Chains A and B, each alone.
Chain A
Amino acid sequence: MQKLLGPDAVLHRPEDLILYEYDGSVEKGRPDAVVFPSSTAQVSHIVKLAAAHDTPILGRGAGTGLSGGALARSGGLMLVFSRMNRILDIDLENQRAVVQPGVVNLDITRAVEQSGFFFAPDPSSQKSSTIGGNVAENAGGPHTLANGVTTNHVTALELVLPDGTIVRVGSKQGDASGYDLTGLFVGSEGTLALVTEVTVKLSRKPEAIKTLLAVFDSVDDASETVADITARGITPAACEMLDGWTLRVIEDYIHAGFPLDSAAVLLLEVEGMIEAVTAQAASIDEICRAHHAREVRVARDDRERELLWKGRKNSFGALGRIASGIYVLDGVIPRSKLPQTLRHIQEIGDQFGFRIGNVFHAGDGNLHPIVLYDLRDNEQFQRALKASAEIIRYCVEVGGSLTGEHGIGMEKSELMPLLFSDADFDFMRRVHDAFNPKCALNPGKIFPLGKGCGETRLRPHPSPSQANTPPEAAAPSVTPPTPVSNS
């Protein structure tokens, strides 16, 4: 490898590798070596070399993922795409950009915002997460309610298959000819191919934006408001809920201006043409008040707006200050079931003895219950996992799903049978094997044990005492992994 890439592009000493055994999840998995390719051709060479040695491989961007997707569950070789971070083409006329996978999400927007454009998917990790990771996980974010998730904004991909072949799918314009392979590869969690180039849509910046903060004295009122906004066919650009307990923790850290004595707030944003924004904001204000909002405040300027969003996007980081272990769930429910689900989550918390915070994308029914635990306490960790599984089970029961934007990874794979049958797994396995027949690429992800492949070399899930040990404690000399800030 060193001969192929140069000595500065390969890590193999344990003290270096330890940096790459974490992501934003509670899981852990150490690669045997880490390489930093700087071109598609190099990726292809590396993959071929690994195949010749029967070594498992996986791709990784910034390691901000929340489901263990970019962890080396079977060891092997990790390709980190941080050196493939160039924006190759910006075509404003056709509203497209072609980028390498290591480009940071927000950097796409930064490159085009002066011209009045932006890249719409905005995971809370967007300051550090890369487009390659976003594509692998089909990342979402607060503004996907109106704008759509990553898959709605990717029109073509260049990929390296597990045998080293370089292929292209999709087209710059976007319409698929043949089958919609772009749609299959986006969100395949790095189990079918490595992404080496991405063509994305650029969106026009809206003419007007209004950000509203609605303050409620009960969680029920806030969730009824969301259900009502949805049912009336109003689609805000974003509709986020923060419960009172969580926002007090955030406020203590960020000072975003959230009211400390509220039971819940809704952070709502409307955008578009001035006339539409004014009308939508008025309707939303009216609905909030009909559901007993104590106050509906409109952000006066960009500074106030940015502060509110800073509070929202750093909420998981704020919670990290008060608990050593954070378990963030990602269940999805029909929006009509929001009030009852939030009540049920509370009950589960009481039953298992946890304070469960809720900071989430209420508008698209994408919950992020946050279970706080002491990560040195094995019994508590196991209990947190049980409570989490109960919550997910309930989401499925009311017609929902396991994950809205974080992915299955190695974290939720054992919950997959809640939704899928053996026949479904057999079928998914055929699609998997069509591209990754030897299970060389990212083994041990998505499929539950016994349904996937490459399991003879899988390492077990971490025991809580080693899971997500704070890096300070584990290796004081290294930089901590990217902070948990995805959502």
Chain B
Amino acid sequence: MSAVTDSAVSRLESVLGANAIFTAKAANRELYAIDGVAPTALAKPASVEQAAEIIRFAGKEKLSIIPVGARTKLFLAAAPPRYDVALDLTALDQVAHYDPADLTVSVGAGMPLSKLNAMLQQQNQFLPLRVPYYSQSTIGGAIASGLDSPMRNAYGTARDFLLGAEFIDGLGAQIKSGGRVVKNVTGYDLHKLLVGSFGTLAAITRLNFRTFPIPATAQGFLATFPTHEAAFAACRKITHSPLAPLTLEIINPQASRILFARAQFTPAFDSDHWQLLAEFAGNDDLLARYKRDLTAISEQSQATQVQILEDNKPLAAITGRLREFIALARESFSDAVLVKLSILPAHHIQTITVLQSVAEAANAPLAIVARASGPIYIAVSPGANQPGAKTAEPTESVVSLFAQEIVALARSAAGGHAQLISAPPQHKSQLHALFAGLNSSDHTLLNKIKFAFDPQNTFPPLSAPSTSPAAETSRHAVPSSESASQTTRLPTPPSPPPLKRS
């Protein structure tokens, strides 16, 4: 701890009282470390006012602050250039307002997500945010990390049901946006900017949501396919049918092995093949219709096995594991590189064909979970099968090969982009910068927002894109077809760009 910060922290203590500030134990501070960088001090404000005071103080003293919740997803963040104070918001865990008859709720950002859903469940309601590290996550962390949920197939992403928020900006001012009614266009939708902001814009203190009735009897459908082409063909038929399943996911063999390695319930399927999992709900007639139609569609698409998961228990066991795919993949591969690749459904088959061939060539295990609406979660273990490198450093070339391939795939998939979820620390800054170059929005625009929220850079900076485009020389994906498709738009039937194999 530098002398300057040291005295700043003790002054902060005198302002707030030692109860809110913990500096002493290094072990405590280690719990808040991001990529090995631990904060100089911890602050755990008991109120929003106290949190605002800490941020104002930090602004005056030029200290950098990172707001944190239950710290389950710190690995998502880039290593911070500075980290003076960890602002632990878990004490802000009160329910500010719950109107079950209006299906709206307003809670402190530190409220554990599982606790919130337990409360809602008493009124037969829930929040469709089935995010990884679910049982420990706070609602504020779930929003700030912006991870999506399989339930988006039916309910959309958080931006679709977040009605408003209160937050503290980088100057320590308490700001609100939106409201707590289900329809509202009063003022700018600033709260949407907080989704996926990773604490770079503001400290979120309160979130207002629309809640949803828990669907009547939910059941599951699991089908096994010999190839990814067959699995996605079935998936496409389902999304283009009148069926409206709650979730619709495709899982590759490696992902199945990760998901069900030590599961209490393992579905009886051939884990060498691709799986399609759908959840659906409703009355008896509706359930019968889903079973009938899903089975028929799957059989038309060469499914080798279909099963209905009627009991809630095995279904919950499977969907619970699937929700934790990111966590399980990180446990399974010590050197896991995890990426969320956001593309359009029409690009699924060719994108996965390319990824598989790259993995094969590099002899690296590749796990894939794809959502019907587009995003694909990819986990690759670059070092697992490399001779003499079983648990050691991932092979540099494999990581870089994959990263470049992903960038190229995102580029060729008109407007696709990639987000680094997790990687060994030595690769993170390079990969963050590489993927930030794919930002659909101009980086200068993002910086304008950052500056409006946090003019003094009290909160951590955004990942800046790397200056040299790294993926120009990919072997597999052809260069972007975006520019071509722009000029020949309407007359040509939409189709994914050709991805030539070399």
Contacts and interface: CB of A to CB of B under 8 A. Distances in A.
B182 A364 contact: yes
B243 A273 contact: yes
Contact of A93 (B174, B345, B462): B345
A177 B440 contact: yes
A334 B102 contact: yes
Given A88-B489, A279-B283, A406-B185, A156 B440 contact: yes
Given A178-B462, A204-B240, A204-B242, A168 B160 contact: no
Contacts of A144: 183
Interface residues of A, number: 91
Contacts of A138: 185, 189
Interface string B176-196: 110111111111111011011
A452 to B, nearest CB: 12
B148 interface: yes
Contacts of A169: 440-442, 445
B186 A401 contact: yes
A148 B240 CA distance: 20
A430 B451 CA distance: 9
A175 B183 contact: no
B490 A403 contact: no
Interface of A: 87-94, 96, 98, 137-138, 140, 144, 148-149, 151-152, 156, 167-181, 183-184, 186-188, 204, 206-207, 227, 230-235, 272-273, 275-276, 278-279, 332-337, 361, 364-366, 399-408, 416, 419-421, 423-424, 426-428, 430-435, 446
B187 A416 contact: yes
A216 B461 CA distance: 58
A403 B417 contact: no
Contact of A187 (B189, B445, B495): B189
A210 B201 CA distance: 46
A207 B99 CA distance: 33
A206 B452 CA distance: 43
A403 B185 contact: yes
B99 A179 contact: no
A92 B490 CA distance: 11
Interface string B259-290: 00000000000000000000000110110010
B121 interface: no
B160 A152 contact: yes
A423 B177 CA distance: 12
B188 A188 contact: yes
Nearest to B192: A183
21 contacts: A87-B490, A90-B490, A93-B495, A94-B345, A98-B489, A140-B185, A168-B442, A175-B417, A177-B440, A177-B441, A183-B193, A235-B213, A276-B283, A279-B282, A332-B184, A336-B99, A361-B183, A399-B99, A420-B187, A423-B175, A424-B187
Contact of A180 (B187, B193, B375, B414): B193
A230 B243 contact: no
- Give the size range of B's interface with the partner: 35 or more
Chain B interface, DSSP helix/strand/loop, else mixed: loop
Given A408-B186, A420-B187, A446-B187, A177 B342 contact: yes
A392 B361 CA distance: 65
B400 interface: no
Contact of B124 (A89, A230, A233): A233
A401 B184 contact: yes
B344 interface: yes
B375 A175 contact: yes
A404 B184 contact: yes
A424 B101 contact: no
A336 B196 contact: no
B120 to A, nearest CB: 11
B449 interface: yes
A389 B189 CA distance: 23
Interface in B218-263: 240, 242-244
B440 A170 contact: yes
Nearest to A404: B183
B456 interface: no
Nearest to B215: A233
B346 interface: yes
B314 interface: no
A149 B417 CA distance: 25
A97 B500 CA distance: 27
A169 B490 CA distance: 22
Contacts of B188: 184, 187-188, 428, 431-432, 446
A148 B159 contact: no
Contact of B187 (A96, A151, A336, A408): A408
A187 B174 CA distance: 23
Nearest to B176: A424
A151 B159 CA distance: 9
The 4 closest A-B pairs by CB, nearest first: A233-B213, A183-B192, A336-B101, A207-B242
Given A89-B490, A178-B443, A181-B449, 11 more contacts: A88-B489, A169-B445, A170-B441, A174-B374, A178-B440, A183-B159, A272-B242, A272-B244, A279-B282, A365-B182, A424-B177
- Among B100, B101, B160, find the residue whose CB has the most chain A CB atoms closer than 10 A: B101
B183 A93 contact: no
B183 A233 contact: no
Contact of B440 (A168, A186, A204, A423): A168
Nearest to B375: A175
Nearest to A188: B188
A59 B453 CA distance: 27
B196 to A, nearest CB: 6
Nearest to A426: B173
Nearest to B435: A177
Contacts of B283: 275-276, 279
A10 B88 CA distance: 58
Nearest to A88: B489
B77 to A, nearest CB: 14
B448 A435 contact: yes
Contacts of B26: none
Contact of A148 (B160, B181, B213, B455): B160
A419 B186 contact: yes
A359 to B, nearest CB: 16
- Among A148, A175, A335, A431, find the residue whose CB has the most chain B CB atoms closer than 10 A: A175
B470 interface: no
A91 B497 CA distance: 13
A89 B213 contact: no
Contacts of B415: 156, 171-173
A173 B175 contact: no
